Amino acid sequence: MTIWTNGCYDVLHRGHVELFEYAASLGDRLVVGIDTDERVREAKGETRPFNTLEDRRYLLKSISFIDEVVSYATNEELENLLIENKIDIMVIGSDWKGKSIVGEKVVKNIKFFDRIEGYSTTRILESGVCG
């Protein structure tokens, strides 16, 4: 089974790695989708992303739980990647429960992952720890 998760993964932290570990445990192959720099800027503002698409892709590829990293600029591209990769399960943060999820109509199943308390990219960036 092929598993998918996506996000901007701008500043990686333990919560992200635990998400990848959980997602990978559900199948044989984990594909991680990441937003382009332009898409991150549109969603999070001009100061983001902190790390470029290429840097984020490089770091994600180094994580043993992840088999493939792909990027997308639009919702349509994201849905096409889900179809092309024949995704069986999409894993997303539990904060998306009850909300509209891009791709929910083209995957077989959605599983929610509870965020790890105390880990947040926004919180890390606001603290100035990585700057």
What stretches in the chain show pLDDT beneath 50?
A: 124-125, 130-131
Q: How far apart are CA 108 and CA 86, in angstroms?
A: 9
Number of folded domains in the chain? Answer: 1
Enter the DSSP assignment of 12: -
User: What residues make up the domain containing 26?
Assistant: 2-127
Q: How far apart are CA 34 and CA 78, in angstroms?
A: 9
- CATH number of the domain residue 44 falls in: 3.40.50.620
User: For position 36, what pLDDT does the model report?
Assistant: 97
User: For position 131, what pLDDT does the model report?
Assistant: 45
